[in-house]
A and B are shown apart, each in its own frame.
Chain A
């Protein structure tokens, strides 16, 4: 089977800092990583390949340096990597991104074989929208299976797939058909350690680099800023509240005294809590 997995290179959010005076993002020197949610999708793709045979193609759209993430994915054991990179893609919102990626997936299908499953992560940690996966599914007319916690079975003969999907208040068991798009839920597996051989392969193998034209995209008005219906008009730091926290003085006091003072403060501000906390605590 042929599996395409879409990944994104993102800044390591734990290391993003905001400039204290100008309130702008300090991007210099922030290391990049594969979007952590994508690793669950990648591992699932690799597991399916191990069982059913076939190939895993990893795809990303981004600046030339996104090649680093593709090489990492090859190191985990992906068979092929495609980097979609072009200045026309700059400023893409989720609609323009899903357009470009779906065009590239169609091209991957023509070039390397039609995919049976397209994977994405649940969402990215920088955009947090969870919209690109559904966008790709709609454009390529794939069955859309989001928040998948478990792939219960795949039958390549009947082209049927059964999954458990996280829903509100429970788990939905769905039967659908290939080709499908799966967005994989977090904590559903653990990314493998790539073998030394795979690491060597990854270093040596070629990353396929496609421009918009290479991916068969003729209509550039649907890409990048021009193809994005949403417009970011304002970026700002949140306004500080009129008064910041009342600090409880800790100087020369024991921890128990501070704790007692804190509780007294809490209950002065919210007297009704006393009853509630006592009731909740079951005493």
Chain B
């Protein structure tokens, strides 16, 4: 038998080595669960990304992967169930009841907590969305178990515990967190952090249906309405194919226009690093990084961004990273693919012009001939 110490070569001082035997009441907790976030008729893509991760964990542990679908009775839930199987679930737990039509903490937390107490999963994963974080925080509190937020890597240790890695200290280092003596081991993961797994059409497998032990009259909070975001005005950074972003190296708020100009010239979304949001130079929904959006574009151009871990974990999934920075020792050059040591304020207009020239129909005709 291998020991836990083999998988943890460097123990942090203080909390290290706190390895006690799992209490008897948790010994029958088995299988990996993924909560499928169903809101307004659609399954959030982060749920599929989590099913992909959950599948890997379940295979390593040689247990089953279950999806959990909470929603109103009807087609919406049945569609989500079919998707859960298509993305790798072995079975699906359903709670369908009218109070679950719109997300509210009380009925969702009740439904999920009851399911966990009945079926006892060892691992429970949720998307780190506004819904998932609202739900996970209260479910973990009721269950009195550990919850690790915004994980960037999930793995199973040699002794079967979940090793959940996330940035720490404001994103300057990474840490691996365990929930050793409590079950389930809960974790949230932000959208786009994990790759989207392949969808494979599969017949609907085993489904376990449960009732909600609450009725509408028991629920204090009522939904009065929902105002969908104006799609054209909202940044769809997370799922954009090309992204240009600026950082403190731009020096002043007005220089962000240079980033926007380049983005417009190549049809990209624009964003920024965390300090710019804190300075009020850009709205929070444009922030890229651990606490903002995680992106996986085909091309990412970072201008005047130094590349702290908190930013790095948000962009590492990009196919091609181009960094422009005056400091040759900036950490961003450690994970970018192409680097230019120069002043972004001067270089961005030149790059915009060069792209415009290159991409104009006239020059493309010339290239083709």
Interface residues of A (CB under 8 A from B): 11, 13-14, 16, 18, 23, 25, 36, 91, 93-95, 98, 123, 125-126, 128-135, 137-139, 143-147, 162, 164-177, 186-187, 225, 228-238, 240-241, 244-248, 250, 255-256, 258-260, 262-263, 265-266, 269-270, 272-274, 276-283
The segment from B82-90, B114-122, B202-210, B283-291 found at the interface with A is B283-291
CB of B337 within 8 Å of the partner chain: yes
CB of B76 within 8 Å of the partner chain: no
Bound-state CA distance A91–B12 (Å) is 13
Bound-state CA distance A187–B292 (Å) is 14
Q: A246 near B339 (CB under 8 angstroms)?
A: yes
Chain B residues near A138: list those with CB within 8 A: 109, 137-138, 141-142
CB of B239 within 8 Å of the partner chain: no
Q: A131 near B136 (CB under 8 angstroms)?
A: yes
B74 CB → nearest A CB, Å: 20
Identify the closest chain A residue to B175 (Cβ): A235
Q: B146 near A230 (CB under 8 angstroms)?
A: yes
Chain B residues near A177: list those with CB within 8 A: 220-221
Chain A residues near B179: list those with CB within 8 A: 229-231
Q: Which of A138, A167, A265 has the most CB of B within 10 A?
A: A167
Among candidates B102, B103, B136, B221, residue contacting A143 with C-beta atoms closer than 8 Å: B221
A-B contact pairs, 26 of them (CB 8 A): A13-B170, A13-B171, A129-B147, A129-B150, A135-B138, A143-B220, A167-B103, A170-B229, A172-B225, A229-B144, A231-B177, A232-B15, A232-B176, A233-B176, A233-B178, A234-B8, A237-B173, A244-B333, A244-B334, A259-B355, A269-B320, A269-B337, A270-B299, A276-B242, A278-B359, A280-B241
Chain A residues near B351: list those with CB within 8 A: 259, 262-263
Q: B353 near A173 (CB under 8 angstroms)?
A: no
Chain A residues near B18: list those with CB within 8 A: 231
Q: Which of B145, B278, B337 has the most CB of A within 10 A?
A: B337
| CB within 8 Å: A-B pair count | 309
CB of B319 within 8 Å of the partner chain: yes
Chain A residues near B142: list those with CB within 8 A: 138
Q: Which of B39, B221, B222, B265 has the most CB of A within 10 A?
A: B221
Chain B interface residue bracket vs A:
35 or more
A126 CB → nearest B CB, Å: 5
- Besides the known contacts A18-B172, A131-B133, 16 further A-B residue pairs in the complex with CB atoms under 8 A apart: A14-B275, A91-B14, A98-B141, A126-B169, A133-B137, A134-B134, A146-B134, A162-B224, A168-B37, A172-B102, A235-B168, A246-B339, A260-B354, A269-B320, A270-B298, A277-B266
B159 CB → nearest A CB, Å: 12
Chain A residues near B221: list those with CB within 8 A: 143, 145, 174-177
Chain B residues near A14: list those with CB within 8 A: 275, 278
Identify the closest chain A residue to B150 (Cβ): A128
- Indicate whether A233 sits within 8 Å of B12 (C-beta atoms), given known contacts A95-B146, A250-B340: yes
Within 8 A of A (CB), among B322-369: 322-323, 328, 332-342, 346-347, 350-351, 353-356, 358-361, 364
Across chains A and B, which 6 residue pairs bring their CB atoms closest together, nearest first? A280-B267, A134-B137, A245-B339, A229-B146, A259-B354, A13-B170
- Indicate whether A276 sits within 8 Å of B298 (C-beta atoms), given known contacts A144-B138, A170-B226: yes
